[in-house]
């Protein structure tokens, strides 16, 4: 018997169960600080001993809590502005649907506009380079406090507001995996807010700060730095432009809001996804125009696969009779929903992951081949997406039973055609 059918206290545990729930919250914050430390050593080697953690003086700066809380406060304010439309999420267990503001792209444009204005007024954005370690520490501390708050408040909500996998009764595991599905303070949805705003837009701003730092040191930003900034800005802009699509993702529909997502959104994304830019500040790379053209083409192919496959599925789920998707081959399922077996979703079972990984590779290549560190993202992301694919496969098997088996038979490769 699988997860959805089990009582909440015997639910199948993910991420290594209780052991994972104890080790991951210790190990991941240390990993973030370690990676930032490595990125600014001359060798940038991941295999240095002792590990080059930032020194204790580098871990605290009085300005940092103000910056971090100010940034989150600004985004909370932008979230509440009556900009963009309101959209409904998927149906909940209690047959209701929550409403969400679709104004993340506006929030990005306004906040990046404000940063550019500050830059024009002479704000030293390059200082973000020195402030990265204390900012990361402050975000880590905040993510622990916030997760404790979320866990505590989850005991005051009705049982149908809990996530299917987050109510095992084991405090450590439930704290880690997330107990409440959609924690809200009135209409303010805390999980949805954190998914795509302070951390994701923060990543772009950190990148810009690192570009400014490189320009200070070298006289102008390098081609490699411009590519890394441009590619990642495109990725974040795309996610926010298509913000509505997040409403049907595993994170929103299935996962509770606990340490795993809080830390991922507020710490892991901004501070490890900006590693390539951080590496380039201390390890400038020369990149030929030909090399840049090849990397741009790779990013373009990845983006095309990622965007068109995600859009195809979203369109199909919203309106299967839409002319863009109505000709695609499908198989019926007992739930009434259909599964696509042609188009992108007939090519591999997760074409969107394939596109995402090609882009991840394109973000690392401008950093050259002398170090492993800039490839940390693509390596970690491959592992994350293989694991995520396995989680989704399990959930789809529960949802669709024999129809899912039939889909897997017709589309045998999961992510990489003819490989995996
Ligand atoms: P997906 O968008 O891949 O959605 C998976 C769901 O799609 C399944 O549960 C199923 O849900 C539906 N589905 C699967 N196969 C079919 C089919 N053949 N026909 C129709 N529907 C199908 O999930 P994710 O949330 O994992 O990924 C969303 C995007 O976010 C991806 O592009 C991914 O690369 C990206 N991502 C990025 C991360 C980052 O850190 N940069 C982290 C995680 C994801 P149902 O049938 O219920 O609709």
4 CA → ligand 1 middle, Å: 19
Rounded CA gap, 211 and 226, in Å?
8
392 lines ligand 1 (CB under 6 A): yes
**Protein residue closest via CA to atom 34 of ligand 1:** 353
160 CA → ligand 1 middle, Å: 24
Q: What share of the chain is helix, strand, coil (3-state, %, to 5)?
A: 65, 5, 30
389 CA → ligand 1 middle, Å: 8
Burial label for 50, CB within 10 Å (0-12, 13-18, 19+), is exposed
3-state SS assignment for residue 397: helix
Please name which of 66, 123, 77 lies closest in space to residue 101, comparing C-alpha atoms.
77
pLDDT for res 4:
35
pLDDT for res 352:
95
pLDDT for res 16:
85
pLDDT for res 11:
64
What stretch of H or E contains 63? helix 63-80
Tens-binned pLDDT, residue by residue, of the chain (420 aa): 333 334 445 567 888 889 999 999 999 999 999 999 999 999 999 998 899 998 888 899 999 999 999 999 999 999 999 999 999 998 888 889 999 999 999 999 999 999 999 999 999 999 999 999 999 999 999 999 999 999 999 999 999 999 988 889 999 999 999 999 999 999 999 999 999 999 999 999 999 999 999 999 999 999 999 999 999 999 999 999 999 989 988 899 889 999 999 999 999 999 999 999 999 999 999 999 999 999 999 999 999 999 999 989 988 888 888 888 888 899 999 988 899 999 999 999 999 999 999 999 999 999 999 999 999 999 999 999 999 999 889 989 998 999 999 999 999 999 998 888
Please give the model's pTM, rounded to 2 decimal places. Answer: 0.91
355 CA → ligand 1 middle, Å: 12
292 CA → ligand 1 middle, Å: 30
345 CA → ligand 1 middle, Å: 11
168 lines ligand 1 (CB under 6 A): no
339 lines ligand 1 (CB under 6 A): yes
Radius of gyration of the chain measured on its C-alpha atoms: 22
pLDDT for res 94:
86
pLDDT for res 10:
53
141: which 2 tokens? Answer: 């501390």
308: which 2 tokens? Answer: 């068109």
337 lines ligand 1 (CB under 6 A): yes
381: which 2 tokens? Answer: 């992301």
306 lines ligand 1 (CB under 6 A): yes
Rounded CA gap, 264 and 288, in Å?
35
259 CA → ligand 1 middle, Å: 22
Probe residue for ligand 1, chosen from 339, 380, 387, 400 as the CB with the greatest number of ligand atoms within 8 Å = 339
List 101's β-bridge partners, or say none: 86
Q: What does 248-314 look like in DSSP terms, one character per residue?
A: GSHHHHT---SHHHHHIIIIIHHHHTTHHHHHHHHS-----HHHHHHHHHHHHHHHHHHHHHHHHHH
């Amino acid at each position: 018997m699988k997860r959805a059918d089990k009582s909440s206290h015997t639910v199948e545990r993910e991420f290594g169960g209780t052991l994972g729930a104890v080790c991951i919250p210790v190990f991941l914050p240390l990993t973030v600080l370690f990676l930032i430390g490595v990125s600014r050593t001359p060798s940038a080697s991941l295999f240095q001993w002792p590990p080059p953690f930032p020194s204790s003086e580098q871990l605290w700066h009085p300005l940092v809590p103000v910056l971090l809380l100010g940034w989150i406060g600004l985004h909370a304010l932008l979230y509440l502005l009556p900009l963009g439309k309101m959209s409904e999420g998927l149906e909940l267990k209690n047959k209701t649907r929550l409403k969400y503001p679709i104004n993340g792209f506006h929030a990005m444009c306004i906040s990046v506009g404000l940063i550019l204005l500050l830059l024009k007024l002479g704000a030293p954005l390059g200082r973000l380079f020195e402030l990265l370690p204390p900012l990361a520490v402050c975000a880590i501390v905040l993510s622990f406090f916030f997760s404790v708050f979320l866990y505590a408040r989850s005991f005051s909500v009705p049982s149908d507001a809990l996530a299917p996998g987050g109510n095992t009764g084991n405090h450590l595991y439930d704290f880690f995996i997330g107990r409440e599905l959609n924690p809200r303070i009135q209409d303010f949805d805390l999980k949805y807010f954190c998914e795509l705003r302070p951390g994701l837009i923060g990543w772009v701003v950190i990148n810009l700060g690192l570009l400014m730092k490189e320009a200070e040191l070298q006289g102008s930003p390098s081609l490699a730095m411009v590519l890394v900034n441009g590619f990642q800005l495109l990725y974040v802009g795309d996610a926010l432009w298509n913000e509505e699509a997040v409403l049907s993702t595993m994170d929103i529909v299935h996962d509770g809001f606990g340490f795993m997502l809080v830390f991922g959104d507020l710490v892991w994304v901004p501070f490890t996804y900006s590693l390539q830019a951080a590496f380039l500040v201390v390890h400038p790379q020369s990149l030929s125009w030909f090399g840049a053209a090849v990397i741009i083409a790779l990013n373009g192919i990845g983006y095309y696969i990622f965007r068109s496959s995600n859009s195809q599925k979203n369109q199909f789920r919203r309106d299967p009779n839409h002319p863009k998707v109505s000709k695609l081959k499908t198989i019926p399922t007992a739930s009434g929903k259909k599964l696509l077996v042609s188009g992108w979703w007939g090519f591999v079972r997760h074409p969107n992951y394939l596109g995402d990984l090609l882009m991840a590779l394109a973000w690392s290549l401008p950093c050259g081949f002398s170090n492993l560190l800039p490839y940390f993202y693509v390596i970690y992301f491959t592992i994350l997406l293989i694991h995520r694919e396995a989680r989704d496969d399990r959930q789809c098997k529960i949802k669709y039973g024999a129809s899912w088996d039939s889909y897997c038979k017709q589309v045998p490769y999961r992510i990489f055609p003819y490989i995996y």
